[in-house]
Amino acid sequence: MHCHEIITQKKHSTTPWLPGVAMLAMLGLAGCALDTSEEMDTEGFHPGEGNAEAAGSGRMTVDTPNGPQEISYEIVNGRKIAEGDIDLGAADEPSKGTDFQTKASTRIGYLWNDGLVPYHVSLSHPARTAVLQAISEMDALTDLTFIEVPIFIRDMILFVESTDPGVSSSAVGRQGGIQYVSIWPTHGKSVVLHELGHAVGLWHEQTRWDRDENVNINWGCMPWTRWHNFEMKDVVTGFTSGPYDFKSIMHYGSFAFSYNLFCPTITKKDGSTFSGSSSLSAEDIRVLNIWY
Ligand SMILES: [Zn+2]
């Protein structure tokens, strides 16, 4: 399309790409117009819309503050992606932790020191306005403090453009060093808020341990290759740990990963459907303020 493609080509490359992104981000300051014309964000988060074919799959154990947690992933654009948008790291970079296949591990759910989250988003990022809106909301409603900084310090979030059509993604919790939150150009505030929720330590509501007592998963409404996205977690970490929360920004809507709009994958116990949230819920805020 335009300048964002130059930058995003680096996102999933298998070689270290940060210097390239840094350089292009700076070029972007001068060369790319700020595009705020597209905002498709009225119904919350829509996972499973990506067109990229999974290049493989696997299971790994991630280290969490409360102990190890097994999680399934697909390899998309060279990244290990769980549950549609949780980035577990590069497929070919056995870095930290225990992967059944690569012996790699990833830290999950680590908090940000003193609730301070440095971040950078290029002036040329098409979703910059949405990013700033989401940050403003989380900063205002929680005890977290976000500070925009240049991209050369450690332990920070760098917002980059997604190369997986229709998909934004983030790691869970502070990873150590510069970590990337990948935002699709036309995604709006609610999607960014969801990814930001991951980045500060939140998991998905629909995979928490008591999910089956609160919603029905309609396995027939999605291909079996998507079933792993609904695998429940067995440790109490990174969830909104109060009552099951349909209003959580971390809850997918009824049609996540579904074949079509006539076949909801997630319904309430009475069979009704619901949309993803577009704002932090009271419970989201409560849990973040306990942590931070
Ligand atoms: Zn998510």
pTM for the model stands at 0.79
7 within 8 A of 160, measured Cβ to Cβ: yes
Mean per-residue pLDDT, 67-92: 87
Task: Catalytic residue, from 161, 195, 205, 283: name it.
Answer: 195
For 128, phi and psi rounded to 5 degrees? -55, -40
Structure tokens at 80: 């290990």
Q: Is pLDDT of 4 > 80? A: no
- 195 among known catalytic residues: yes
Going by pLDDT thresholds of 50, 70 and 90, the confidence category of residue 194 is: very high
The SS3 call for residue 175 is coil
- Where do the domains of the chain lie, and which CATH numbers do they carry? 205-291 (3.40.390.10)
Q: Is pLDDT of 205 > 60? A: yes
Gap between the Cα atoms of 239 and 115, Å rounded: 17
Does residue 182 or residue 98 have the better pLDDT? 182
29 within 8 A of 122, measured Cβ to Cβ: yes
From the CB of residue 255, how many other CB atoms can be counted at a distance below 10 Å?
A: 25
Query: Ligand 1 mean position to 203 CA, how many Å?
Result: 7
Dihedral sign of CA atoms 219, 225, 226, 231 in order: positive
Query: Ligand 1 mean position to 193 CA, how many Å?
Result: 10
For residue 234, give Cα distances in angstroms to 26, 141, 273: 43, 29, 26
Going by pLDDT thresholds of 50, 70 and 90, the confidence category of residue 237 is: low
Residues with CB in 5 Å of ion ligand 1: 85
268 within 8 A of 35, measured Cβ to Cβ: no
pLDDT of 22-58, one tens digit each? Answer: 333 333 333 332 233 333 343 444 555 555 567 788 8
Query: Ligand 1 mean position to 198 CA, how many Å?
Result: 7
